[in-house]
Amino acid sequence: MKREHRILKNEQFQAIIKNGVLTKTPLCYGYFTPNELETLRVGVAVSKKIGNAVTRNKIKRQIKAIVRPYIKTHTGDFIIVAKKEINNSSFGDLVNAIAKIFDNNGD
């Protein structure tokens, strides 16, 4: 994902989580706030409780790959926070969970 489509700073993460609209799925939480940039920005958070660095990075790569097509169709700021249940799920389940987050909050 290009730099203009990522949220990296902790202050931005906290602001979106505090003020955003929450969508819960069995595998992850999604927080959404509209932005003035007319582009989609996404932040991914995966806790150390989920696994070692290799596992966490794999999950982040999968989430970013799933989000890539939404860049052209959605605007706003999204934070996706992975839950422990993500370890025991398939890629298809993760695709459906993230689709639910974007369908509930997107344009």
Using one digit for the tens of pLDDT, what is the confidence trace for 16-29?
A: 999 999 999 999 99
82 φ/ψ angles, rounded to the nearest 5 degrees: -75, 145
Taking alpha carbons only, the member of 50, 55, 66, 51 closest to residue 1 is 66
Task: Tell me: pLDDT of 1 over 80.
Answer: no
Can you tell me the mean pLDDT for 8-20? 92
Using one digit for the tens of pLDDT, what is the confidence trace for 50-62?
A: 999 999 999 999 9
In the sheet with 40-45, reading across from the earlier edge strand, the strands are 21-24, 28-33, 76-82, 40-45
Using one digit for the tens of pLDDT, what is the confidence trace for 25-48?
A: 999 999 999 988 888 999 999 999
Strands 76-82 and 40-45: parallel
SS3 for 19-68 is HCEEEECCCEEEEEECCCCCCEEEEEECCHHHCCHHHHHHHHHHHHHHHH
Task: Tell me: pLDDT of 106 over 70.
Answer: no
3-class state of residue 90 by DSSP = coil
pLDDT, residue 38, reads 84
What whole-number percentage of the chain has pLDDT above 70? 98
Taking alpha carbons only, the member of 42, 26, 20 closest to residue 90 is 26
Name all domains of the chain by residue range, CATH numbers in brackets: 3-105 (3.30.230.10)
43 φ/ψ angles, rounded to the nearest 5 degrees: -120, 140
Give the whole-angstrom CA distance, residue 91 versus residue 89: 7
pTM for this predicted structure: 0.90
